[in-house]
Structure 1
Amino acid sequence: MTSSTQTTVTVLGLGAMGRALAAAFVAAGHPTTVWNRSPGKDADLIARGATSVATAAEAVRASDLVVGCLFDHGSVHEVLDPVAGLLAGRPLVNLTSTEPAGARELATWAAANGIPFLDGGIMATPEMIGRPGSALLYSGSSDVFDTFRDVLESLGTAEYFGADAGRASLVDFALLSGMYVMFAGYYHGAAMVREIGMSAEEFGNRAASWLAALLPSLPAAGAQIDTGDYSQVLQPLTFTKAALDAIVSASRDAGVDLDIVGPVRDLVDRQIAAGYGAQSSERAFESLNPRPRIAS
C-alpha cells in the first residue's frame, strides 16, 4: 500500500468543492498540486502550501494520484481527453458529480486509455470536507481504492461499493433525492403556515424536531419494502390517503400549490385503486418501482 504521508496528489478543478478537497489534502500533509481552467482561485491554497500549475498536463505529471472535481461530465472529457496519454497507468479518481451512466462511460474511456479509475460521490458540503460527518462513496477499481484509501480518508470516511463504476453515483443520487424531497416538504409546510403568520424559521425549528423523531423508523420501513409483504400494518394506505386528502384541502385553502404534496397523494391513490387500501402505507413504494425484486 502506498504510504499516505508520501503520496502526492493533484486536484483538477477549483470550484468550492475542489478547493475544499485540495485544502484537506494539504492539511493532511500530502504534497498537493492544483489546476483550474480559469485563474484566480488558487491563492489561498498556495498560501497553505499547495503548488499551482498553468496546465492540466503539468498537473497530471506532478502527482501519484489525480483527483478530478470539475463542473460536469462533459467538462471531465474536455479537460482529460487531451491528457489521456499522460494519465495512462496513473490512478484517476473522479469526484465530479456524475450520473451513473456517465461514471460507467468514464470507466470505459479510462480502461481504453490504460487509466486505473475510481468514481466517487461526495456526501458533504465543502465546509464539511476533512471534518467529522464528511462521507465519500466510491466504486470502480478496487486496487485504486485499497492503495489510496488512507489518502482518500483525508476527505472523510470512505466506503467502497464495488467494481461497477456507476454504483457509488447511484447511491449518492438516491440519498440526495431523499434530501431534496425532505426540503421540498419543508418548503410546502412553511408555505402553509405563512397564512397564520408563522415564520419559515420558526416552522423550520418545529420541522427539524419532528423529522428527527421520525427518521429512525426508515430502516424498519425499508425492511418491509424488501420483503414485499405489506400485510403487517402500522398505518394502512386508506388512513394515509385520508391524511393526504386533508393536507391537500388545507393547502388549497391556504393558497399553496400542490406540486409537492399532490404527487405523493397520487402514489397512494394508485395503490388503493389497485385494491391494496388495507395494506401498510409502505406499499406506496410499489407505485414508484414495481419491477421484480433482485435477490440480495
Structure 2
Amino acid sequence: MNNTTDTPVTVIGLGLMGQALAGAFLAAGHPTTVWNRTGAKADDLVSRGARRAPTVGDALAASPLTIVCVTDYTAVRELLGTSGMPLDGTTVVNLTSGDSAQAREAARWAEQRGVRYLDGAIMGIPSTIGTAEAVILHSGPQADFDAHRPTLEALGAVSYLGADHGLASLYDVAGLAMMWSVLNAWLQGTAMLRTAGVDAATYAPFAQLIATGVAEWLPGYAEQIDRGEFPAEVAALATDARSMAHLVEESEALGVNAELPRLIKAMADRSIAAGHGGEQYPVLIEEFSKPYHS
C-alpha cells in the first residue's frame, strides 16, 4: 500500500460508530463502500459519496481492506462466513467490541479461511473519529498493519500493540479501568466536599492537579513492578493504609458512601498481613493479580 487517499476501503456495520468510521474515510478521500443489514442507515453516507453494496460479499470484494464494526463477534463470523465470497487474501480489521479470548478465537477462525486479520479497539466516541482525539488500537501481524496503516490513519491516532490478537481488547479494558477509577475517586472527593458547600466545579481543578501528579509516578512504579522489588522510596504501604483508614472514617462521619475506600483498604490490609507493610504502594499488584473470592 502506498500513502495515497485513493485506496478503496469497505465498512461493514453502520451503527453510530460505523457511520463515523465510514465518514472519516470519505472525508480523507478514500473510495468507500458500505454495507449494513438495515440498508437505510447507509443513506446519508451514500449522499456523501459512499457506494452502497447490495450484499456482504459484494462489500468484501470491493476493497482490499474491510473494517467491521458490528454488534458482537458472533455477528462478525456470521456475516463473513455467509458472504458467499472466497475470503482467501482478504484483510479484515475488526473493531467490534469484545474480550481478548473472543479476539484470539476470531483470529483462529479467520486464519483457517485465509483471512488477513487484525483485531482492534476504539478509544473514543463517534464525534472524535477522524481526529487525533480518537485512539485506534490494533493487534495482529505487524506486516498486515504496516500495509494498511496509511489508510487506517484516516480514523485517528493509530497504535500497533503487538502480534497477539488479544492485546487490543486487553488495552481497551485496562484503559476503562483507569478511566472509571479516576472518575470514581473524583466522585468520592466531590461527595465529601459537597457536605461543606464546595461545588464540583470548584473542586475539579484541584482534583485534576492531583490526577496529573499521580500519573507522573506511573513509569517509576512500573519499573518496581517489572523488577518485582518495591523499596519504600516515597512511603511504606503501612503508612498509606493509615491514610486510607482516615479516608474511610471521614467519609462515614460525613455520611458519604465509604465502600470504595474500604475495598482498597481491605486489599492493603491483606498485603500488610502477608508481610509487605514496609514496601511501596505498587506491591499491591500482588493483590490485584489474584482472583476475587467473596
TM-score strictly above 0.5: yes
- Secondary structure of the residue that 1:158 maps to in structure 2? strand
| C-alpha distance in 2 between matches for 1:22 and 1:39 | 14
Structure 1 match to 2:27: 27
Structure 1 match to 2:38: 38
Structure 1 match to 2:79: 79
**1:37 Cα deviation after fit:** 2.3
| C-alpha distance in 2 between matches for 1:253 and 1:195 | 11
| C-alpha distance in 1 between matches for 2:13 and 2:283 | 43
* 8 Å contact kept, 1:101–1:166: yes
The amino acid that maps onto 2:243 is: A
The amino acid that maps onto 1:94 is: N
**1:44 Cα deviation after fit:** 3.2
Structure 2 match to 1:261: 261
* 8 Å contact kept, 2:67–2:94: yes
The amino acid that maps onto 2:101 is: A
| C-alpha distance in 2 between matches for 1:119 and 1:140 | 6
Structure 2 match to 1:173: 173
Aligned residues: CA RMSD: 2.1
The amino acid that maps onto 2:189 is: G
| C-alpha distance in 1 between matches for 2:87 and 2:214 | 47
Measured against aligned partners, the alpha-carbon deviations of 1:32-52 in whole angstroms (never above 9, x if no partner) come to 112222344333322322222
Measured against aligned partners, the alpha-carbon deviations of 1:185-218 in whole angstroms (never above 9, x if no partner) come to 2222222223223333333333223212321221
TM-score by length of 1: 0.90
CA spacing shift, 1:249–1:20, aligned 2, 3 Å:
same
CA spacing shift, 1:80–1:257, aligned 2, 3 Å:
farther
| C-alpha distance in 2 between matches for 1:250 and 1:84 | 64
Paired positions, count: 291
- Contiguous gaps of at least 5 residues in structure 2: none
**1:248 Cα deviation after fit:** 0.9
- Secondary structure of the residue that 2:132 maps to in structure 1? coil
Structure 2 match to 1:294: none
* 8 Å contact kept, 2:10–2:33: yes
TM-score by length of 2: 0.91
1:205 maps onto 2:205 in alignment: yes
**1:8 Cα deviation after fit:** 0.8
| C-alpha distance in 2 between matches for 1:68 and 1:218 | 34
Q: Matches of residues 58-73 of structure 1 in structure 2 within 5 Å?
A: 58-73=58-73
Structure 2 match to 1:116: 116
**1:257 Cα deviation after fit:** 2.5
The amino acid that maps onto 1:61 is: A
